[in-house]
Structure 1
Amino acid sequence: MLSRVANTTLEDCQTPSASQKGRAGRPRSLLLDDLTYLVQAAKPGHYARYGCVGCKYEFSGRATGRVLKHATRCLKLSPQLRSHACKASSDSSPGACVETIKAKVNPAHNTSAVAVHSTSDNTVAIAKNTESQDWHAYFADAGKSTLKAALDLAILKFFSCNGIAPNAADSSEWKDIWRIVGRYEPVSRSTMQDVQIPQEAEHVRLKQTKYLMTKQNLTISFDGGGTRRRESFYSCHVTTPKRESYLIEAFPGNGYAHTAEWISKHVLEVIKSIGRTRFAGICSDSTGNTKKCRQRVCNAVPTIINFPDPVHHTALAIKDICQLEYFSPVVKITRRVIKHHSHSDKATHQLDKARPKFNITHGLQTIGKTRFATIIHAAVALCNCLLALRYVQAEHGLSIEDCSPQLFMAGKSASLNFERDLNQLISIGLPFAKAIMCLESSHSTAADVYIFWCAIAACLKRVLSDNESGIPSSVKGQIRGIFNARWREIFEEGPNRAHLSAFFLHPGYTGAAIFKEPNAVAFNIKVPARKDKHTGQEIKHRRVYQQVGECLTTMLAAEVEHGKNIKLNVPSTARKLLKDRFQHQFRAYATGHYPFSTPLRDDQTALEWWKELENVPQAEVLAALAIKLFSIMPNSMPEERTVSNFTWTNSALRNRQHLSTIVSHTQIRQFYRSKARLQTMSIPTVRFYEMDSLLRDMTTAIGPKDAEKAVKFCALDQDDSEDDVDARPGESWLDDLTESLTTDAATEFAMEHDVELGQEELISLLASDHAIEMVAQRESQHQEPVLEEGTNEGVSWVFDADI
């Protein structure tokens, strides 16, 4: 039995047609007949040639593995044919064979696809079970087949997870290992690369898809990229509320115009395959085509919330500031100094020896093309190394092309001016760089995006208010103008006010004095609110309350009309009652009434806080909307991490890899490595001083113990990507002009009419050292009014702040 199970192939599962039953040999595969057509009949010494029915790709022969490898990635095949090819490929994978054998050996074992990480444990279990069998079974065909299935999967994981090229499977050294072991003959390179790896990748993808079909409030993100072979692609990830991210597809883009229509077509296919109503948000950077793609997807699925990626957006603000004429000289000098040390072993060695004398722990940082805020990281590292560079200048001399010979001479005006300019650039750019590192976190929420941009403004205001900073008033106005333009782009003129709404609904900030108190002495004409049953405190920030209420009402209308949430998708006769319940609950939350008066625990996230209220009648409508907002991951960092994985796999020595091979290796690696990683605890709010980062180390005071580590770090810390060094100034992202943006000089920050930028709580978010939390909690509890039954009248989805 085990032998038959282990040796089951796709051809064995096919049913021959009636016309073929009388023929000898292997039965024809109906699926292969559907996927291919005969191009040229076989000739003496040559195989017959077949072509893909969807595109012009041709095969020499019709090996099942090679045909399915192409069919599972061919975008020109019909969705039905491609789905059948993916299913057949998955069923023949090493992982599927292991699961089938495990089910036969242990019928009580559940190999449900929902248990998304079970295959890794099955391999070990099968191997142990094989060892425990009696010697008759051990040497019988069933025992050998069981052992082969387990080893096939284990070896495949070893190659894919560790980035080993399949070519090693044909090496004599690899074969010698298994010749000594005996009883197992490993597969060849071509079998592993063209059959097993693509099949296992499909098996992994289908398991992930089935797992995601059991989840709600998913986030879909996408981004473009390319390989060393110059094959363009658009990757697509799906993330759960617990921040489990899965690479579902990487659509090949060669030969296609990467328009919003083309991208949205494939993104919608992924959404449809999992379930349209299971998605809550979509995120990407804001290039012309991706921005339009998000809008098209939101139009097609109204319940999906549009989120521009805040990390890319924040990096654009740094780019705008660095391109100001005032900062151009210091940026150019910084790049030249780092370029000189990246090309000069002598200069690097001299700096490496000088740093311990001044307790300088970290060396210079290269300016790369992929890391966000890389110029600020490099500037901070250079500023920390100034004493060592001046020592090198005095002891050995330091000549840098196109730089003043007095640049690192102590006491000289060129050196002092450069240090002043470098500190000015750091003081302006560092808040953005710190915020980027926090917003890159998989734990970040839409509320974090809003609060960290407020924190950036608070830090900038403190710097620009300092008359001793040396920054001219005209430049200060330009900096405020750049910040305001980028602020309005995402928070005021963006697709929605979801970030502000999430911040307003964050229970950890209900008592924080972030929003300004209303001016008690200002002359206001106020229309009295209609009489209601609330007798508690008044709403202080009515402007913010109105904006958030309008956003939440729009969300509620979309859920009522297009969603599947049982608490919100009510009959038309109950919609007016539902809207009234929402408005009463929202007001109760804004005024701290029951059941929203429970404080947020230190170890509790906003999502967990709201989930405790989802079944409370006095809170369930508002809780459903809040849970949706806090379930969305508001950044597209899964794309960046996967592209980094692509770069690691597609190294310079493996530059001929096809996109499909890179994607298969990455899907297998991410799937099995995620099982090995420990589950990280949820973080209520990401703060910079809690980050384990090099930038935090460089901006924190160095203690005696840290100074002992100085000699362990190189003088020039390289990026992970080997071609990521800013070797020529023209290659840097800083030289690319940004899109046209109105950046008129400003005397104040755009959010100052609502946000109190002088709050220390905002400054502490971006502090490099631990800061004391100052969040006051409200203790009062109030009851929600009893509501009357709804009517059959139509519902106007307009938020009424005075209800």
Structure 2
Amino acid sequence: FFGCVAEGCDWLQAGNAAKNRVLRHAAHECKHLSTELRKWAITQSAGGSLGSKLEPHTPSPSPACSSTLTAGPQSIDKPATKLSIQHDFTELGKKEWQDKLDFCIVKLICVNGLAPNILDSDEWKEFIQVATKSKLKATPSDKFEYDYIPNEAARVQHLTVEALHQHHNLTFTFDGSDTLGRDSVYTGHVTTPDRTTYFLSFKEGTNESHTAEWVKSFVLDSMDIVGREHFAGTCADSTGNTRKGRTLVKDAVPTVMALPDPCHHIHNTVKDITNLPEFQNMISVLRAVIKHFSHSNFGNKLLKNAQADDEVTKGLVKIGKTRFATHYSAAVALDRCFTNIQNLIVTKAIKPKNKEMVDTITGQRDSMVFKLNLLQYTRIVDPLARSLWSLKAQESTMGDVYLFYMAIGAELKDLFEMGEKRTGIDVTLAQKITKIFNKRYREFIDATPDDPYFTTLYLDPRFVGSDIFKKSGTIPTPVIVLPAAQPNSITDEAQQAPNPKAYRRAKKALLQLLRNEVQMFGDHKESSSIASLVKMTGASGVTIKNEFSVQLLAYSRREFPFTDPIGAQTVLQWWRSLVTHPKARVLAFLAVKLYSVLPNSMPDERWGSTKTRTNTPLRNHQKVSTLANMIQVGDWYGKHMVSLYLSSRAASDSFDVHRKQKMIDPSLMLASETYLGSEVMAQIPRACCLILQMLVWTFLMPWAQMLKRMWMMKKLVTRQVQQVGFQTLSCLFQKQTSRTLTMTSTLMHSC
């Protein structure tokens, strides 16, 4: 038996302590191992992956660590294998071929979410025999599941960390979910300012309570893999433990903004509106209609035929548990199909058993009331649902969040101002919806620490001086009151801005962000994101603060250097161009940070969709580590890497096309392959140049290719000959090569 040395880990296995078994547990499964040992295990696993053998950029294990792990019975020296020319051309070549094939299979399985046990089927073995002409054998699935995939996942983890080390202002998003085996797992993703997302970490917590402290530990441990100073924000949904966990992370790392997910928050707003008593009868009938057509294939077919006659291309939509604004989508679909469903019921083509549904749809008055409620519901929820779907985008910013919330409020206000006679929405219902929206708005916009949403939109140059900031909402109480140089300097300064109230609010939040960054510089120095700015300003906090005040006022007044139009750039690109400007650098640093943060946690929601596709009911005993490793490898090679075959094929195709063009068009040969000096070529007529180069291409190139092959053969044979002691053959070969070189040089001289 052998087990894990980590304190608190009860992992115990029978049999031999094979290297791959130990590393698989240490790198992917053990929750009690120290960070240093886990990093070491990941490096060791990465060094033994197929990708490390076949691709150049790969972490290799240190010799000391390798000798430590392989010491023991497995490190006994084996007798040297006698090498031969046949051995090099067959066994080694087949081994490399097998590794390349298995590496392609690893990517095939992980990118497409296939089950590894298909590799044990007779059909797959037959496919390998046919594809390789019976020269290779199919590798069993256990080798992939317990060796190749975990090692490749460790390599991907190492490469991911290397890629993230090149960035600052990263966003860490996290979420929890369950597998079909009733195992709980939390996942963490990191998004760069350019909106490239990487799967960084996971943690199984089946036997643990997911308290706020547990969430905090997971987030901080994940951030430590890259470095806390590289992060600018965290984002997750607003369940009890994640909301408090974000707050604890914010307390531990003040430079990291703790953001709730706007998509979940708007979805909860839609849910509150859906649960109002005024819409319960409509929702009940909606569910009954969807249930009937979901269980009746005959009725569903009749509905599709009726829609085809009326040129309606979309049908009903089911209400899902994990879909955002799912009741809205179902209501819009029912409104689209209502006339066809009503005709089918009236003509007795279908006979639903739900009496409430039949009476509501067929009754003249009841159907009109139902359609009115359906229209009211969709009209009210429409701006919320569309904003939610827009904010799911990977390119969304915190400024977009505030802008969409303002748009939702304006749309609802305009709707309610139309009056009950035009909309059918009475004052009581309008007041309830207004109360729900205002409550959710204050929870999300005003209660979020650092006031990031309003501040980010304020730094959008397209909205400088806009009236949208005149009604900016509740201003949060400042956490720390900054000392002013003069008693009324802030007040007087704000009066010079177009919107003094908005200016004060933005400045208060930005000063707090700036103070946190300066404190981070004191702890991490050169590795902090503000290090370059501190160097430019002379490493003085007072200088940075004074520059910030001047630059914020100049920006608010649209003064130089903030006068350039944004054009086709993004807001982030516009601010990046000002990072080194001496009159904009401090404000640009803060703006770049705010616009670099991803304001939603959709990467983890997409991971959940991939998990559902991979963790099928037939694979309900799949371990969390196996599932996470497959998704991590699939995410890397499916999104961040180009297939080796495709890249090499593209390169060879471009070379072949260029080669064919040169053979057809002699002018390309003159431009790219000049065998004579440029001065001589300028003195010879163009026709002679073409003739000379065609002669050189025709007669000299075959000899050059032959020489190249002979030199390659000499190196290969010489290596083998030295091992078996045939020195005489080597000498003869060298003499023959020298004679050939002499003949070639004579021919070139004559040409």
TM over 0.5: yes
Looking at CA atoms only, which structure, 1 or 2, has the larger radius of gyration? 2
C-alpha separation between the residues in 1 aligned to 2:301 and 2:282?
Answer: 24
Aligned partner of 1:385: which letter? C
Matched ranges for 1:329-348 at <5 A = 329-348=281-300
The match for 2:34 among 75, 78, 101 is 78
Change (3 A) 1:260 1:341: same
Deviation at 1:588, TM superposition (A): 0.4
Deviation at 1:498, TM superposition (A): 0.5
C-alpha separation between the residues in 2 aligned to 1:569 and 1:277?
Answer: 15
Which residue matches 1:408?
361
The question of whether the paired residues in 1 share the 8 Å contact of 2:510 and 2:590 is answered with yes
Deviation readout 1:622-679 (Å, 9 max, x if unpaired)? 000000000000110000000100000011222221111111111111111114699x
Aligned partner of 2:129: which letter? R
Change (3 A) 1:228 1:546: same
Q: Find out whether 1:161 has 2:111 as its counterpart.
A: yes
Change (3 A) 1:74 1:550: same
Change (3 A) 1:398 1:592: farther
The match for 1:659 among 608, 619, 624 is 624
Instruction: Tell me the TM-score normalized by structure 1.
Output: 0.70
Which residue matches 2:586?
621
Aligned partner of 2:561: which letter? P
Instruction: Please state which structure has a larger fraction of its residues in helix.
Output: 2
Which residue matches 1:63?
18
Which residue matches 1:574?
540
The question of whether the paired residues in 1 share the 8 Å contact of 2:46 and 2:59 is answered with no
Q: Find out whether 1:419 has 2:371 as its counterpart.
A: yes
Q: Secondary structure at the match of 2:21?
A: helix
Aligned partner of 1:64: which letter? K
Aligned partner of 1:508: which letter? R
Change (3 A) 1:516 1:301: closer
Instruction: Tell me the TM-score normalized by structure 2.
Output: 0.75
C-alpha separation between the residues in 2 aligned to 1:462 and 1:310?
Answer: 23
Q: Secondary structure at the match of 2:232?
A: strand
Change (3 A) 1:66 1:532: closer
- Of 562-571 and 273-282, more deviation after overlay is shown by 562-571
The question of whether the paired residues in 1 share the 8 Å contact of 2:46 and 2:58 is answered with no
Aligned partner of 2:45: which letter? S
Identity of aligned residues (%): 36
RMSD, matched Cα: 2.5
Q: Find out whether 1:634 has 2:595 as its counterpart.
A: no
The question of whether the paired residues in 2 share the 8 Å contact of 1:517 and 1:540 is answered with no
Q: Secondary structure at the match of 2:271?
A: helix
Aligned partner of 2:236: which letter? S
C-alpha separation between the residues in 2 aligned to 1:192 and 1:247?
Answer: 21
Change (3 A) 1:138 1:470: farther
Matched ranges for 1:379-528 at <5 A = 379-395=331-347, 396-409=349-362, 412-467=364-419, 468-510=422-464, 512-516=466-470
Deviation at 1:242, TM superposition (A): 1.0
The match for 1:94 among 29, 50, 54 is 50
The question of whether the paired residues in 2 share the 8 Å contact of 1:559 and 1:569 is answered with no
If asked which structure has higher relative contact order (CA below 8 Å, sep 6+), I would say: 1
C-alpha separation between the residues in 2 aligned to 1:637 and 1:405?
Answer: 40
Deviation at 1:567, TM superposition (A): 4.3
The match for 2:549 among 570, 583, 589 is 583
Which residue matches 2:662?
none
- Of 507-516 and 148-157, more deviation after overlay is shown by 507-516
C-alpha separation between the residues in 1 aligned to 2:231 and 2:310?
Answer: 54
The question of whether the paired residues in 2 share the 8 Å contact of 1:94 and 1:200 is answered with yes
C-alpha separation between the residues in 1 aligned to 2:361 and 2:505?
Answer: 53
The question of whether the paired residues in 2 share the 8 Å contact of 1:220 and 1:282 is answered with yes
Which residue matches 2:245?
293
Aligned partner of 1:551: which letter? A
Aligned partner of 1:589: which letter? Y
The question of whether the paired residues in 2 share the 8 Å contact of 1:505 and 1:626 is answered with yes
Q: Secondary structure at the match of 2:356?
A: coil
C-alpha separation between the residues in 2 aligned to 1:614 and 1:670?
Answer: 33
Deviation at 1:329, TM superposition (A): 1.5
Which residue matches 1:682?
none
Which residue matches 1:747?
none
Instruction: Give structure 1 stretches of 5+ with no counterpart.
Output: 1-37, 39-48, 104-109, 114-134, 519-526, 679-803
Deviation at 1:474, TM superposition (A): 0.9
Which residue matches 2:507?
549
Aligned partner of 2:364: which letter? K
Deviation readout 1:357-377 (Å, 9 max, x if unpaired)? 222121000000111111111
Which residue matches 1:605?
570
Deviation at 1:566, TM superposition (A): 2.3
* Number of residue-to-residue matches in the alignment: 590
Aligned partner of 1:163: which letter? G
Q: Secondary structure at the match of 2:468?
A: coil
C-alpha separation between the residues in 1 aligned to 2:180 and 2:490?
Answer: 68
Aligned partner of 2:146: which letter? D
C-alpha separation between the residues in 2 aligned to 1:287 and 1:239?
Answer: 22
Deviation readout 1:308-333 (Å, 9 max, x if unpaired)? 11111111100111111111211121
Deviation at 1:417, TM superposition (A): 0.7
Deviation readout 1:506-562 (Å, 9 max, x if unpaired)? 1122264423499xxxxxxxx99759999x994221111111100000000011111
Deviation at 1:92, TM superposition (A): 0.9
Q: Secondary structure at the match of 1:408?
A: helix
The question of whether the paired residues in 2 share the 8 Å contact of 1:537 and 1:591 is answered with no
Change (3 A) 1:449 1:400: farther
Which residue matches 1:175?
125
Instruction: Give structure 2 stretches of 5+ with no counterpart.
Output: 61-84, 473-485, 522-527, 644-751
The question of whether the paired residues in 1 share the 8 Å contact of 2:319 and 2:326 is answered with yes
The question of whether the paired residues in 1 share the 8 Å contact of 2:171 and 2:235 is answered with yes
Deviation readout 1:327-369 (Å, 9 max, x if unpaired)? 1211121112111111111221111111122221210000001
Q: Secondary structure at the match of 1:403?
A: helix
C-alpha separation between the residues in 1 aligned to 2:288 and 2:264?
Answer: 25
Deviation at 1:579, TM superposition (A): 0.5
Q: Find out whether 1:144 has 2:94 as its counterpart.
A: yes
Change (3 A) 1:531 1:631: closer
Aligned partner of 2:19: which letter? T
Deviation readout 1:139-176 (Å, 9 max, x if unpaired)? 33332222122112111111111222111111111111
Deviation at 1:301, TM superposition (A): 1.1
C-alpha separation between the residues in 2 aligned to 1:224 and 1:111?
Answer: 31
- Of 394-403 and 136-145, more deviation after overlay is shown by 136-145
Q: Secondary structure at the match of 2:173?
A: strand
